[in-house]
Structure 1
Amino acid sequence: MYQTLNQTKEKQIQREEICLEDSLKSLIEVTEPYYSLTNLSIDEENVLKADVNKQLDCAHEVKGMSYSEAGRHLAILGSLALAKSNPVKEKHYYLATKAYVKRVYQQAYDEIEHVGYMSTIHFDRKKGIAKGYLNTKTGKKVYTITVEYQVLSWRLFERMFKQHKQETPCLEGYNPYAESIPLFDLKTSEDSSSATLGVINKDICVGHFDDYPALPVARIAQVLTSIAGIQNNASGLTEPMKIKHVILYAKSFLFAGETMSVKSVLESSTESSDENVIDTFAFSNDDTEYSARLTCWI
């Protein structure tokens, strides 16, 4: 009898989780495979919780989930938290414009399964802020994060970016987010580096966004982390990076069909503490103003 009651309760919880996830997912403009959260739930303090697995190996960072991938999953979870806080229950674009990410657990680790937690700390009609953290399933707190978002209704977004509307590819079974984005035309020196991605293919933007494919901010961060790692090596450090914290600014989109270039600058290096500060920038087409900036403290 007790077993039957427990099974009934578990099934009810599963139904509630599915209902919560479906209702919140319908309010954001991010889909699979970019969206990969599972077992979404919420506690009495309105903290959203979701399971997520590490998908990407980052050669330039110590083992474990990379900064950029952690930012990807937590920013999506944060957008769900904002969607729940938004009194207007229709689809919006929650666009990450700034993020501060700190790595709490500095050691390398091999665990794949993680749990993310995010909650709203500010919301108004145009802006939202969410914060939270990422643990391994065994309880290691790996990252803390605060993300700022611009909030746009789907109508306003489509008016603003109608020139970028294009057919969204249907790539069943393909997950570009499990692969690093390669760099080309790489040039390095002790204090700066540069490279290009060429033209952004809409296949690597799948799930972000439907009909308006754009390279996700977290994927731009992955590329910027790569150029930071290359810069770190060029400055004489050969071990994988143990990044202490990063600040990311995203000023504009990089849509499919546009070209992207990146550069890094070694801002400071202290031999006594082995700490480097590396600034990295992403540019669209031939723009002189950056689209995104990532500063890493290593």
Structure 2
Amino acid sequence: MKPLLELIGETAPYVRAFDVTVKEDGAVLGWFKPEQQRYAETTLLSVSEALRSMALHGALIAAEANPVKARHYYLGSRAELQVFPVEATGLEAFQCEGRLVGIDHSDLGPIYRVKGSCRTDKGELYAELDGALLVLTEEEFVGLKGADVSPRPRWTPGQPSPYADPLRPMTLEWTEPGKMLRASLPGLPREDFAGHFDIRPLCPMSLIVANAASLLGRFPGYERFWIRHCSFSCRDVVDPGQAQRLICVSDKPGRFVVTVESDEGQRLGRFKFEAVPA
């Protein structure tokens, strides 16, 4: 049987899991090393890196549960992340563990529901994730999103990863000072989506959540903060070169909602954050 990492559509540098194994009870284990800058976030991982790593692990869980052992594309449609206040220094790696909890059905295809946890290399529980992934064959994926005939961005081990520093320059405008902030995110190059996916580069939700979470630091009192809870729902993602708009609203202390739209006004997704000032 092919290794699980060969059964998903993502590749390096988006993927950097290692020592991926399957336990006798069907749980999937895997390790990753943190690489992403945190800026204003004070947690061990940025919320973006935690979501990216655990969502990738969710794809591996789904690939293990999928009876057809061929490459599939596991597209995250929603997730809920809970982060616990772990204090530690000098961490070399984190371990993810999770399993399939159910399968739903949609017009586009099966939706695998997964549940996982993330622990420090000392065994401390850092985060838990509940998520859902739409499962598509390569033919179904191309039928839904189209194929990319342009030359693929080249990336080799040792090159800088676009995911190590996912924040991009944005134009900001306060619609209602202290309550509603609008941000314009210019279209990003294909190189920013390297490894997600090779057959058709699409903007990773983890890149968007990084820029969405950075908006919290613009609100009074949140110059430094930690996000203890994040949920998102995703309708669609943009192609390279397509601009996006992010609208961040704080309706009560510590609670933020970020709506993501295409430049044409199409609703793409929504994030909900619960944050604590540091």
Q: Same fold (TM over 0.5)?
A: yes
Number of the residue aligned with 2:42: 62
Matching residue within 175, 178, 202 for 1:190: 178
Number of the residue aligned with 2:258: 280
1:213 aligns with 2:222: no
* Percent identity (aligned): 22
**1:56-205 residue pairs with structure 2 within 5 A?**
56-105=36-85, 107=87, 109-123=89-103, 126-162=110-146, 165-172=149-156, 173-188=159-174, 189-205=177-193
1:163 deviates by: 6.3
1:226 aligns with 2:226: no
| Contact 2:43-2:85 at 8 Å conserved across structures | no
Residues 237 and 29 of structure 1, relative CA distance in 2, 3 Å threshold: closer
1:245 alignment partner, SS class: strand
Number of the residue aligned with 1:14: none
1:244 alignment partner, SS class: strand
Number of the residue aligned with 1:257: 241
1:112 deviates by: 3.8
Measured in 1, the distance between the counterparts of 2:88 and 2:271 equals 22
Q: Structure 1 residues 177-186 or 78-87, which shifts more?
A: 177-186
Number of the residue aligned with 2:31: 51
Alignment coverage as a number of residue pairs: 267
Measured in 2, the distance between the counterparts of 1:202 and 1:49 equals 31
Measured in 2, the distance between the counterparts of 1:117 and 1:98 equals 19
Measured in 2, the distance between the counterparts of 1:55 and 1:217 equals 17
1:107 deviates by: 4.3
Higher helix share: 1
1:244-294 deviation per Cα after TM superposition (whole angstroms, max 9, x unaligned): 21111111011112112212001212xxxxxx110012222222x421211
1:122 deviates by: 1.3
Measured in 1, the distance between the counterparts of 2:163 and 2:98 equals 21
Residues 109 and 98 of structure 1, relative CA distance in 2, 3 Å threshold: farther
Normalised by the length of structure 1, the TM-score is: 0.84
1:59-109 deviation per Cα after TM superposition (whole angstroms, max 9, x unaligned): 121141111111111111111111111112222111001000001225475
1:164 deviates by: 5.3
Q: What residue identity is the alignment partner of 1:268?
A: K
Residues 202 and 193 of structure 1, relative CA distance in 2, 3 Å threshold: same
Matching residue within 257, 269, 275 for 1:292: 269
How much is the aligned-residue C-alpha RMSD, in angstroms? 1.8
Gaps of 5+ in 2: none
| Contact 1:100-1:246 at 8 Å conserved across structures | yes
Number of the residue aligned with 1:17: none
Larger radius of gyration: 1
Higher strand share: 2
2:267 alignment partner, SS class: coil
